[in-house]
């Protein structure tokens, strides 16, 4: 055994250094032959391993003919010479390395040919694939995983070099799929299938479509039967499913295999049943959220549906994105409609209400909330984000395939009210919605790509239904106002959504520029579509801006009332008065504060609002400039005629990003760390502004008059148009210096049209 280990150690070093192998291929194959089965490794039979091979025996190797290593190799593992498990792990490692070298295009032909001869000997006389498969039935997970990696490499090597499918492995897979759930090797079967398809998709050879077609032909029909058997209520009767790692591992492997199958369909334009079954028969799979299984499996399942609807299946695994030119599938639109309708039908039956949202933080590494620290008990927004986006995309698909405006309007109101009710139930008080359209920015604030996908989907729904509704209503003003009100109630008003997006980035044009330059989001497509809508709905946009201004003033008045109560409490030690609220009709002003909250919640919200709204309060009271909410991410104020900066430095500065949360923390620290004297000055100033002795309480009439005066100022519209103007100037500057990554001419034309809104504002 010790002599064989020395030979393998030396062989490992030579393969690692891509050195020429001097000995005969038969000799190397003998030492790489797996001499033990899984049963041998799990019992005391490993003691029968021969320690010395004599040269006069058949098929033996004289160890003395191999050069003795001059130095030991750092294998980063503590191998024990008398342990056959470690010997087998080293054998699998060397085999996997050889196959990797064969597949490499940088290897010398002579060395690659030597490796191929050794692998060929291992496959034919020694039946390597059968021995690798036998390890799947053992209890050693590391050994089984290494064997699966070797087997996947061998299968792909045979497909690429000889265009043949290993019959031994095919028979094993067909039997394993048909024997489910009794088979205990199903996870390794699926993992190997996934790995092979992934390698085919990553390959640069031109015939990979034919290779995959040949590969999937044998598994098409058996996989359909297997698919239905997985979702046949098998796990509902297994109460230990949540704690059973074997079931969790199997379901994860199954979902990953489904994803790579769908990715191969989109990328290579194949239409096997196994590639379409997830679209056409999703109904039986949606019950997975009620199973007693690990939450990770449920998340992967919902995310898989989301990726299917967004055409992003397999992007993480393949490290690439599918362009629109690649997505040319005559059945894809029909399958997407079937998937969306099935999901909406499930939601109609209460699917969203069955979601289990964890109240623990979803930190990497599985951090647990410490006892007594209830502040960290926030909902896991991954499930809510993915489910909300799937619902929006399903509604968008249905809206574009529906001709009746009344029917889709009823469906939209039903499903969006269901979604908003679920969000209201799960969201904590810190994410409470004061406006139905605010839900999108609240739950997607930490996921830019999904947020913009959701915004684009909501915009698509709005545009489709607006056209249909205008045609049905024949353009009457009353019907238009009714439809506008319903878009607010359903949380899908595109102008509100865009304004909330700008408020979240503090109207910073450089953040929008970063979105336009980046290829990680669909912001360009969404932004172009919204700018086109803005040209048509200028008056509607200005009306929404006025509503935002009114709501902003209401918040400031609420803060001022809180300051007054705080002063009275400090000087008279009396209980603070309840803040006054202005009565406002929701139909006229969608953004409203909730006066029904408890006193404790009001105080907590007041404290948070005092910190976040102080700059706005200063603007409203003394007309001074506010503190900068965020530092500019990119400085475009430098003179264009300056010759001191090189083009390269300008390019680098134009794409440099500073994390927004860091800037937000700077703002919070600036506000919170104000000295007691400055705090007292602000409190005294607001006390004079709202002196109870001089102005008693705010009457509803006076409040409405103040709101109307503020609404005429259109502060939000000014900020928005200024932001768009700065964005236009930045893009123009980059275009003139040939630093913009694509031709922005059409985008610049749309941005120039926003100047017409300024003229409309001046006429109001």
Burial 92-117 (b: 16+ CB within 10 A, else e): bbbbbbbbebbbeeeeeeebbebbbb
Identify the residue with better confidence: 36 or 271: 271
Distance CA 157, CA 402 (A): 48
What's the confidence (pLDDT) of residue 431?
75
Backbone φ and ψ for 54, nearest 5 degrees, come out as: -90, 145
List of E strands, 324-428: none
User: Which residues, other chains included, contact 83 with Cβ-Cβ below 8 Å and sequence gap of 6+?
Assistant: 46
User: Which residues, other chains included, contact 438 with Cβ-Cβ below 8 Å and sequence gap of 6+?
Assistant: 491, 496, 500
- 631-680 residue pLDDT tens: 333 333 333 334 333 333 333 333 333 333 444 334 333 433 333 344 44
Long-range contacts of 629-632 (CB under 8 A, 24+ apart): 629/506, 629/663, 629/664, 629/667, 630/505, 630/506, 630/508, 630/660, 630/663, 630/664, 630/667, 631/658, 631/663, 631/666, 632/508, 632/510
Smallest Cα–Cα separation from 199: which of 263, 110, 279, 285? 263
| CA 594 from centroid of its chain's CA atoms | 32
Distance CA 500, CA 435 (A): 10
Contact of 151 with 196, CB cutoff 8 Å: no
Q: What is the DSSP string of 442-499?
A: HHSTT-HHHHHHHHHHHHHHHHHHHHHHHHHHTT-HHHHHHHHHHHHHTT--HHHHHH
What's the confidence (pLDDT) of residue 411?
86
- Cβ count within 10 A of residue 223: 22
Say what the alpha-carbon torsion angle 639, 641, 647, 650 is, to the nearest 10 degrees. 0
Distance CA 22, CA 12 (A): 14
pLDDT bin (cut points 50, 70, 90) of residue 324 is very low
Smallest Cα–Cα separation from 654: which of 674, 643, 676, 638? 638
Identify the residue with better confidence: 464 or 630: 464
Instruction: HSE, CB side, 13 Å, CA atoms: give it for residue 630.
Output: 22
pLDDT bin (cut points 50, 70, 90) of residue 256 is very high
Distance CA 180, CA 638 (A): 68
pLDDT bin (cut points 50, 70, 90) of residue 703 is very low
What's the confidence (pLDDT) of residue 582?
31
Contact of 654 with 734, CB cutoff 8 Å: yes
Smallest Cα–Cα separation from 761: which of 707, 709, 721, 724? 721
Rounded average pLDDT over 267-281: 91
Lowest-confidence segment of 24-28, 80-84, 298-302 by average pLDDT? 80-84
pLDDT bin (cut points 50, 70, 90) of residue 373 is low
Tell me the Ramachandran region of residue 603: left when phi exceeds 0, alpha when psi lies from -120 to 50, beta otherwise: alpha
Distance CA 328, CA 365 (A): 40
Contact of 36 with 49, CB cutoff 8 Å: yes
Distance CA 282, CA 346 (A): 10
Rounded average pLDDT over 583-605: 39
Identify the residue with better confidence: 380 or 637: 380
The mean of the pLDDT values for the chain is 74
Rounded average pLDDT over 474-494: 79
Q: At what angle do helices 141-162 and 208-217 cross, to 10 degrees?
A: 120
What's the confidence (pLDDT) of residue 6?
85
Q: Of all residues in the chain, what percent carry a pLDDT higher than 70?
A: 65
User: Which residues, other chains included, contact 199 with Cβ-Cβ below 8 Å and sequence gap of 6+?
Assistant: 152, 156
Rounded average pLDDT over 322-327: 50
Tell me the Ramachandran region of residue 412: left when phi exceeds 0, alpha when psi lies from -120 to 50, beta otherwise: alpha
The answer on pLDDT for 491 being more than 80 is: yes
Distance CA 431, CA 569 (A): 28
Q: What is the DSSP string of 222-283?
A: HHHHHHHHHTSSTGGG-TTGGG-HHHHHHHHHHHHHHHHHHHHHHHHT---HHHHHHHHT-T
- Cβ count within 10 A of residue 746: 10
Q: Of all residues in the chain, what percent carry a pLDDT higher than 90?
A: 40
What's the confidence (pLDDT) of residue 501?
94
Helix-then-strand count for the chain, H and E: 34, 0
3-class DSSP assignment, residue 21: coil
What's the confidence (pLDDT) of residue 176?
94
- Cβ count within 10 A of residue 542: 18
Distance CA 51, CA 81 (A): 10
3-class DSSP assignment, residue 210: helix
For the chain, what percentages of helix, strand and coil (3-state, to nearest 5) are there? Answer: 70, 0, 30
Domain residue limits, the chain? 1-164, 175-180+196-324, 554-638+651-763
pLDDT bin (cut points 50, 70, 90) of residue 387 is very high
Smallest Cα–Cα separation from 31: which of 124, 126, 112, 99? 126
What's the alpha-carbon Rg for the chain, to the nearest Å? 33
What's the confidence (pLDDT) of residue 586?
35
Distance CA 649, CA 656 (A): 11
Q: Which one-letter DSSP state was computed for residue 78?
A: -
pLDDT bin (cut points 50, 70, 90) of residue 342 is very high
Indicate the burial class of 599 (C-beta count within 10 angstroms; 0-12, 13-18, 19 or more). exposed
């Amino acid at each position: 055994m010790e002599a064989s280990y020395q030979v393998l150690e030396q062989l490992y070093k030579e393969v690692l250094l891509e050195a020429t192998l001097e000995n005969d291929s038969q000799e190397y194959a003998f030492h790489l032959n797996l001499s033990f089965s899984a049963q041998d490794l799990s019992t005391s039979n490993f003691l029968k391993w021969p320690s010395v091979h004599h040269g006069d025996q058949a098929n033996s190797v004289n160890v003395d003919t191999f050069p003795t290593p001059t130095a030991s190799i750092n294998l980063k593992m503590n191998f024990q010479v008398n342990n056959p498990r470690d010997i087998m792990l080293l054998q699998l490692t060397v085999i996997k390395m050889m196959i990797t070298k064969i597949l490499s295009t940088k290897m010398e032909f002579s060395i690659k040919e030597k490796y191929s001869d050794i692998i060929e000997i291992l496959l034919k006389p020694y039946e390597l694939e059968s021995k690798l498969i036998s390890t799947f039935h053992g209890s050693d997970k590391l050994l089984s995983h290494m064997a699966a990696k070797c087997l996947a490499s061998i299968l792909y090597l045979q497909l690429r070099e000889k265009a043949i499918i290993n019959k031994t492995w095919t028979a094993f897979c067909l039997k394993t799929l048909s024997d489910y759930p009794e088979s205990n090797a199903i996870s390794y079967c699926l993992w190997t299938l996934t790995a092979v398809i992934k390698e085919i998709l990553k390959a640069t050879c031109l015939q990979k479509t034919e290779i995959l077609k040949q590969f999937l032909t044998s598994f098409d029909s058996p996989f359909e039967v297997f698919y239905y058997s997985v979702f046949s209520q098998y796990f509902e009767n297994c109460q230990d499913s949540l704690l059973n790692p074997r079931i969790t591992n199997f379901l994860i492997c199954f979902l990953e295999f489904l994803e790579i199958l769908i990715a191969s369909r989109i990328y290579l334009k194949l239409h096997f049943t196994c590639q379409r079954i997830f679209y056409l028969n999703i109904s039986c799979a949606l019950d997975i959220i009620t199973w007693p299984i690990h939450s990770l499996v449920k998340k992967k399942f919902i995310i898989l549906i989301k990726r299917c609807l967004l055409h992003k299946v397999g992007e993480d695994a393949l490290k690439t994105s599918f362009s629109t030119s690649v997505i040319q599938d005559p059945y894809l639109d029909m399958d997407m409609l079937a998937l969306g309708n099935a999901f909406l039908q499930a939601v109609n039956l209460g699917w969203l209400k069955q979601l289990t949202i964890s109240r623990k933080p979803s930190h990497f590494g599985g951090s647990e909330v410490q006892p007594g620290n209830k502040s960290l008990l926030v909902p896991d927004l991954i499930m809510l984000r993915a489910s909300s986006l799937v619902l929006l995309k399903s509604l968008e698909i249905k809206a574009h395939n529906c001709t009746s405006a009344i029917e889709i309007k009823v469906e939209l109101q039903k499903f969006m009210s269901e979604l908003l009710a679920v969000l209201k139930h799960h969201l904590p008080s810190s994410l409470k919605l004061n406006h139905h359209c605010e839900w999108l920015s609240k739950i997607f604030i930490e996921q830019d790509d999904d947020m913009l996908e959701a915004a684009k989907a909501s915009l698509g729904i709005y545009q489709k239904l607006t056209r249909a509704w205008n045609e049905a209503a024949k353009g009457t003003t009353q019907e238009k106002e009714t439809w506008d009100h319903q878009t607010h109630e359903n949380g899908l008003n595109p102008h509100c959504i865009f304004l909330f997006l700008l408020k979240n980035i503090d109207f910073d044009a450089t953040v929008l520029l970063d979105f336009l330059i980046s290829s990680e989001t669909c912001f360009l497509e969404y932004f172009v579509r919204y700018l086109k809508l803005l040209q048509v709905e200028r008056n509607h946009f200005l009306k929404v801006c006025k509503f935002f201004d009114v709501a902003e003033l209401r918040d400031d008045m609420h803060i001022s009332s809180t300051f007054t109560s705080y002063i009275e409490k400090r000087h008279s030690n009396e209980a603070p008065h309840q803040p006054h609220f202005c009565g406002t009709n929701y139909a006229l002003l969608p953004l409203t504060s909730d006066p029904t909250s408890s006193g404790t919640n009001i105080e907590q919200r007041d404290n948070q609002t005092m910190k976040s709204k102080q700059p706005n309060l200063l603007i409203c009271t003394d007309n001074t400039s506010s503190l900068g909410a965020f530092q500019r991410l990119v400085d475009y104020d430098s003179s264009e005629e300056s010759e001191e900066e090189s083009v390269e430095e300008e390019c680098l500065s134009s794409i440099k990003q500073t994390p927004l949360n860091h800037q937000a923390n700077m703002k919070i620290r600036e506000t919170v760390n104000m000295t007691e004297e400055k705090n007292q000055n602000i409190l005294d100033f607001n006390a004079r502004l709202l002196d109870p002795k001089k102005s008693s309480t705010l009457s509803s009439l006076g409040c409405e008059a103040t709101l109307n005066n503020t609404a005429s100022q259109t502060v939000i519209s000014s900020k928005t148009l200024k932001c768009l103007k700065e964005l236009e100037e930045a893009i123009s500057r980059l275009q003139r210096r040939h630093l913009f990554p694509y031709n922005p001419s059409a985008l610049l034309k749309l941005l120039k049209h926003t100047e017409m809104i300024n003229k409309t504002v001046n006429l109001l």
